[in-house]
Structure 1
Amino acid sequence: MPEVRSYESSNSRTSLPYHSLLNPKIENDEGLYLRDGDAATLRRKFLYGVAVGLFSGLSIILVIYATFLYISNRSVPQTFPPDFPSHPVMFEEDERYAVASSPETDSAWDNLMPAGRGFILVEEPKEYGLRPGLPSVNGPDRYSVSVFHQLHCLGMIRESYNSVLMRVRPHIYGDENLSDSAAQESEKQHTSHCFDYLRQAMMCSADMTIEWAMEMPDGKPPFTVDGWGITHMCRDWKHVLKWMGEHRSPVNISGIA
């Protein structure tokens, strides 16, 4: 009688889905495969490695960015004066600054110049990108603050103007001991400098406040602009004077011109 061979049905053999190739190893009649518990462990290790890699990369980026900011801040000098607050100020006529020279008007102009005559002391000027200032005795160098240089120039022009009106020699600091001819030449050079300096200062500030026409009496049509009654945004002058007092140069000279 012929031998009857029996064959295992293909359905009786262990079926291995594709994803089992990614599982931890298990044994069956076909060999070694992967167990589900070990697969979870491998996934955790993989995710941990990804997290560590991302964290390391982010840390490197942050270190590079912080270094860049540090170098940038070191390469761009900071300014010595703070950013003063601004507030609205309406321009109104003040005759003390508009009429001819008198003890009252001269005092009003001189009082525009703070103690130290517009000069301050700056310690460690190189930190602010400043070149050397005027030497002082046993102290930091002295530096001028532009707005008070501008006021000095305006006072200088006023003094020259009044001297012409009154036909007297102008009272200008530093020219007291000069001869008349030397003082006249000094005044000419000083005034010429001030015209150009004030021109550049006004162009630099470039106040773009819009000014309307001057209101005429009796309802007459306007024909000019005087600038009075117009509100401007201005630095708080009290804060400016306070800061100047805190850093003032020990100069006891008074007067604006």
Structure 2
Amino acid sequence: MNKLSDFPRRTVPRKTYRFLPDPQYARDDMLFDEHDTLHTLHNWIPLSSDARGYVQIQDYGSYPHLGEPHIVAINRTSDGPAYMMSVFHQLHCLSYVVEHYQQGYDGVGLEEEVAHHSSHCFDYLRQSIMCAADTNLEGENDAGPGWGSNHECTDYDALLAWANEHGAMRWRNGLLPGEAIL
């Protein structure tokens, strides 16, 4: 029987990354202005797969722990089964929380849907961090807390390639508005 961990974890290599600030994805001043926040979050789109994280698993019935798939738009005329890869759900949640944190800074009131979605994202990200449980040790560094440390990670380029190869739809190609964020 196939195990849930057979894909893509077993097929995506590991790679060492040094954690450093990257102003393309986060800047110290990005939260003071809605335009700057949305512009910065728009830069995150290439971090997601072409199918917005949805992948097709042809033999999903062989993986009893998967549960039922989502039904998503495979193309403009048909729907089909797909699963969301957790990493892309996590990036969506982080992007969502950043966007609405900035709106709160601007004095925008918290709507009920935003409060519920944000609460989901906080708890989902908490559980995701605990699940991954990165145990790399971080020392003192002039760049600031957490920066400059090496981490053994999933090779993100290889992960994106796998996700695009198994993508359920071509989200970015014609389905994504130009000003969108994750």
Q: What CA distance in whole angstroms lies between the structure 1 residues aligned with 2:127 and 2:108?
A: 30
Q: How many angstroms does 1:136 deviate by?
A: 4.2
Closer, same or farther: CA 109–166 of 1 in aligned 2, 3 Å: farther
Of the structure 1 ranges 235-244 and 131-140, higher mean CA displacement relative to structure 2 is found in 131-140
User: Which of the residues 167, 170, 173 maps onto 1:248?
Assistant: 167
The reply to whether residue 198 of structure 1 matches residue 100 of structure 2 is no
Unaligned runs of 5+ in 1: 1-73, 170-180, 217-224
What percentage of aligned pairs have identical amino acids?
33
TM-score (norm 2): 0.78
Q: Secondary structure at the match of 1:193?
A: helix
Q: What CA distance in whole angstroms lies between the structure 1 residues aligned with 2:42 and 2:4?
A: 39
Q: What CA distance in whole angstroms lies between the structure 2 residues aligned with 1:75 and 1:213?
A: 44
Q: Secondary structure at the match of 1:199?
A: helix
Q: Secondary structure at the match of 1:89?
A: strand
Q: Secondary structure at the match of 1:122?
A: coil
Count of aligned residue pairs for this structure pair: 163
Q: How does 1:5-154 map to 2 (within 5 A)?
A: 74=1, 79-83=6-10, 84-99=12-27, 100=30, 101=34, 102=36, 104-129=39-64, 130-136=66-72, 140-154=80-94
Structure in which a larger fraction of residues adopt helix? 1
Contact 2:97–2:121 (8 Å) recurs in 1: yes
Contact 1:78–1:128 (8 Å) recurs in 2: no
Q: How many angstroms does 1:77 deviate by?
A: 5.9
User: What are the superposed Cα offsets for residues 141-197 of structure 1, whole Å, 9 maximum, x if unpaired?
Assistant: 11110011111110010111111223458xxxxxxxxxxx8xx11110000000000
Contact 1:90–1:229 (8 Å) recurs in 2: yes
User: Which of the residues 139, 149, 157 maps onto 1:238?
Assistant: 157
Q: What CA distance in whole angstroms lies between the structure 2 residues aligned with 1:256 and 1:248?
A: 19
Q: How many angstroms does 1:76 deviate by?
A: 5.3
Unaligned runs of 5+ in 2: none
TM-score (norm 1): 0.57
User: Which of the residues 154, 158, 166 maps onto 2:98?
Assistant: 158
User: What are the superposed Cα offsets for residues 78-108 of structure 1, whole Å, 9 maximum, x if unpaired?
Assistant: 6332521111110010123223152641321
